[in-house]
């Protein structure tokens, strides 16, 4: 057994069990093994965490930014120094191949480092006034207590991205990781403790999501909530935020198109497709959902994609050579199985894979479906599994309208050798992020986020810190 984190919550600088004594299990999705029990906090415990974060805010927000930056950098360095251990923990609780988990740890640390650098560059403005002798000063101030509700697909990186921005801005922070993957999140508490972050600045709480969500959303002390997860829960949080008028950042579902124009470099498109589709077993919100391919190259590209898809090795993420791990849980497997079956029933053709496993296996054979049309469920729903769908198009206008035929607007991809044509199409795509000849679009320097029902607000980049700041203007006569 690896050196596990303490399997307790981190509140006000101390490790806490639930005051009710209850816990819930964490399961390895590859083996079904129970790997830990973590606290199911009571509502009183959650309110205690909010009070601790609130009490810590005054001093933390007033600390010179350089000191906050230095602490964030230390936490990032500590995370990197435990990269192997955290990576293994991510694979055990989440299932992704170890190489991807190690990549996630580096990516998470990069957010802490990035925001430690941003912390010292939060600058206001002085604006000329029309009235003689008057001055207008603009200050940027931290909002107060910020809370994060994070998903299981990138348990450390999503948390680090939010925590980095919040702490850099001068907010104090409460994190509620997903119940499937609390361990790697709780481990961040150990790093904060080792870095001597002041008590109450970072709090990590686990337990019943609707109860914790409601407690955070209804508290007037929590001024900001950043959420990454399903559109369904995001909509609920918007409703719940009304009572206290909270500032929200929402990173919700996606339904990414991947357009292949007839002039694309197909080898390059294939490489991008494999990364953009099968990473994390297809369980990322920017994973390709729909390959939209010019009819003149559709058959050829589908064959290339099918051949490469058949070569993927499915297995336990801790085993060397595994390309695709298990899906996170039984519901995820059942959803993907349902989408494959309904697409087949509606006329799609299975070109690779196709056999959804019987329970209890959560390993889905990577699958390619051709002849997918816009009337199918698999076209509209976020697949969140290793299944590719291919749909042909005739004109650029049709490629754009097919791509935009979704209520989501997170990521889109476009492959072409003609950059000016690609740019013109990219401008017409209703998505927050467009990769042109690229699917590796996540980067700490770039603003991550969507439009339409994929949410609002941006994370990472020079813009990400703004979501945790309020503008205050001083009119000086
Ligand atoms: P998924 O279906 O992919 O797990 P969710 O949106 O359900 O996506 O989960 C994302 C995060 O939202 C997780 O941390 C989960 O515990 C949390 N969550 C789920 N339901 C609620 C809720 N009613 N209120 C607040 N958070 C919730």
Residue whose CA is at the smallest distance from ligand 1 atom 25: 213
Given a cut of 70, whether residue 137 has pLDDT beyond it is yes
Residue 379: closest CA among 405, 345, 353, 401: 405
Residue with tokens 């850099």: 168
pLDDT at 26 over 70: yes
Half-sphere exposure at residue 172, Cβ-oriented, CA atoms within 13 angstroms = 30
Contact (Cβ atoms closer than 8 angstroms) between residue 2 and residue 89: yes
Residue 149 CA, chain-centre distance (Å), reads: 10
- Say how far apart CA 328 and CA 45 lie, in whole Å: 28
The angle subtended at Cα 445 by Cα 441 and Cα 447, nearest 5°, is 65
Within 279-313, where are the H helices?
295-310
Q: Report pLDDT for 259.
A: 98
Active-site hit among 93, 100, 180, 251: 251
Long-range contacts of 428-435 (CB under 8 A, 24+ apart): 428/400, 428/404, 429/257, 429/400, 429/403, 429/404, 430/404, 431/256, 431/403, 432/458, 433/286, 435/272, 435/276, 435/411
Q: Is 43 in the pocket of ligand 1 (CB under 6 A)?
A: no
Which of 9, 171, 192, 285 is catalytic? The answer is 285
pLDDT at 1: 37
Residue owning the nearest CA to atom 9 of ligand 1: 229
* Cα distance between residue 102 and residue 455, in whole Å: 28
Distance of alpha carbon 227 from alpha carbon 432, whole angstroms: 17
Point out which residues pair with 38 in neighbouring strands.
24
Q: How confident is the model at residue 299 (pLDDT cuts 50, 70, 90)?
A: very high
CB 446 within 8 A of CB 440: no
Spell out the long-range contacts of 206-210 with Cβ–Cβ below 8 A and sequence spacing 24 or more.
206/9, 206/24, 206/38, 206/39, 206/40, 206/41, 206/176, 206/177, 206/179, 206/182, 207/18, 207/24, 207/39, 207/40, 207/41, 207/42, 207/45, 207/46, 208/40, 209/149, 209/176, 209/179
> Span 56-82, mean pLDDT?
98
Q: Is 150 in the pocket of ligand 1 (CB under 6 A)?
A: yes
Question: What's the gap in Å between 152 CA and the centre of ligand 1?
Answer: 9
User: Is residue 75's pLDDT more than 80?
Assistant: yes
CA nearest 476: which of 133, 210, 107?
133
Neighbours of 239 (CB within 10 A): 9
For range 443-460, the mean pLDDT:
98
Say yes or no to pLDDT of 95 above 80. yes
pLDDT confidence bin for 5, thresholds 50/70/90: low
Q: How far is residue 370's CA from residue 376's CA, in Å, rounded to a whole number?
A: 12
User: How many residues are present in the chain?
Assistant: 477
Residue 95 CA to ligand 1 center (angstroms) comes to 19
Residue 66 burial class via C-beta count within 10 angstroms: exposed 0-12, middle 13-18, buried 19 and up:
exposed
| Residue 251 annotated in active site | yes
Residues paired with 239 in a beta bridge? none
What is the average pLDDT across 438-449?
98
Residue 421 has pLDDT above 50, yes or no: yes
Output the pLDDT for position 2.
42
Q: Is the dihedral of CA 23, 246, 109, 51 positive or negative?
A: negative
Residue reference for tokens 């435990």: 82
Q: Across the chain, what does the average pLDDT equal?
A: 97
Angle CA 142–162–126, to nearest 5: 35
Atom of ligand 1 minimally distant from the CA of 331: 2
**pLDDT at residue 4 is higher than 70:** no
Q: How confident is the model at residue 356 (pLDDT cuts 50, 70, 90)?
A: confident
Report yes or no: 336 and 364 within 8 Å, Cβ to Cβ.
yes
54: three-class secondary structure by DSSP: helix
Tens digits of per-residue pLDDT, 310-329? 999 999 999 999 999 999 99
CA–centroid distance, 27 to ligand 1, in Å, is: 17
* Residue percentage of the chain with pLDDT more than 70: 99
Question: How large is the average pLDDT for residues 348-362?
Answer: 89
Q: Does the bond joining 360 to the residue before it have cis omega, within 30 degrees of 0?
A: yes
Per-residue pLDDT at 400 exceeds 70: yes
The Cα 367–Cα 361 span in angstroms is: 16
360 falls in which pLDDT band (50, 70, 90)?
A: confident
pLDDT at 377 over 90: yes
- For 213-265, what is each residue's pLDDT tens digit? 999 999 999 999 999 999 999 999 999 999 999 999 999 999 999 999 999 99
Task: Give the atom of ligand 1 at the shortest distance from the alpha carbon of 176.
Answer: 14
| For ligand 1, mutation pick of 94, 95, 149, 155 (most atoms within 8 Å of CB) | 149
Placement of tokens 């470099």 in the chain? 265
Give the whole-angstrom CA distance, residue 444 versus residue 466: 15
For the question of whether the overall pTM of this predicted structure is more than 0.85, the answer is yes
Nearest C-alpha neighbor of 187 from the set 81, 116, 280: 81
């Amino acid at each position: 057994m690896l050196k596990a984190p303490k399997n307790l919550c981190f509140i006000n600088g101390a490790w806490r069990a639930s005051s009710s004594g209850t816990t819930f299990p964490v399961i390895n999705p590859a083996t079904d093994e129970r790997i830990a029990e973590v606290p199911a906090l009571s509502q009183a415990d959650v309110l205690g965490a909010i009070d601790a974060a609130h009490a810590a805010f005054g001093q933390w927000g007033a600390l010179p930014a350089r000191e906050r930056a230095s602490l964030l950098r230390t936490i990032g360095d500590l995370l990197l120094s435990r990269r192997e251990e955290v990576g293994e923990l991510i694979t055990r609780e989440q299932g992704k191949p170890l190489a991807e988990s190690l990549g996630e740890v580096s990516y998470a640390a990069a957010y802490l480092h990035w925001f430690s650098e941003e912390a010292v560059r939060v600058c206001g403005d002085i604006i000329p006034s029309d009235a003689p002798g008057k001055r207008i000063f603009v200050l940027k101030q931290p909002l107060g207590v910020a809370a994060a509700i994070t998903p299981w697909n990138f348990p450390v990186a999503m948390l680090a991205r939010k925590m980095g921005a919040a702490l850099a801005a001068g907010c104090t922070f409460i994190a509620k990781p997903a119940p499937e993957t609390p361990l790697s999140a709780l481990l961040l508490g150990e790093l904060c403790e080792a870095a001597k972050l002041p008590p109450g600045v970072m709090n990590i709480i686990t337990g019943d999501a609707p109860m914790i969500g409601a407690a955070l959303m209804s508290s007037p002390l929590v001024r900001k909530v950043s959420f990454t997860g399903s559109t369904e829960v995001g909509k609920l949080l918007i409703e719940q935020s009304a009572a206290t008028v909270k500032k929200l950042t929402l990173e919700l579902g996606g339904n990414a198109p991947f357009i292949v124009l007839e002039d694309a470099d197909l080898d390059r498109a294939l490489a991008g497709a494999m990364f953009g589709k099968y990473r994390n077993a297809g369980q990322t919100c920017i994973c390709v959902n729909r390959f939209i391919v010019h009819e003149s190259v559709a058959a050829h590209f589908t064959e290339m994609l099918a051949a490469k898809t058949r070569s993927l090795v499915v297995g336990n993420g801790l085993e060397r050579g595994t390309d695709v791990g298990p899906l996170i849980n039984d519901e995820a497997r059942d959803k993907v199985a349902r989408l494959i079956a309904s697409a087949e029933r509606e006329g799609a053709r299975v070109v690779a894979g196709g056999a959804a496993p019987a329970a209890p296996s959560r390993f889905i054979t990577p699958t390619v479906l051709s002849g997918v049309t816009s009337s199918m469920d698999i076209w509209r729903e976020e697949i969140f599994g290793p299944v590719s769908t291919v749909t042909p198009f005739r004109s650029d206008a049709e490629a754009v309208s097919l791509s935009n035929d979704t209520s989501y607007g997170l990521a889109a991809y476009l492959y072409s050798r003609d950059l000016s044509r690609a740019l013109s199409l990219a401008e017409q795509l209703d998505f927050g992020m467009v990769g042109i000849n690229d699917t590796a679009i996540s980067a700490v320097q770039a603003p991550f986020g969507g439009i339409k029902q994929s949410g609002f607000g941006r994370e990472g980049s020079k813009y990400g810190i703004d979501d945790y700041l309020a503008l205050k203007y001083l009119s000086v006569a």
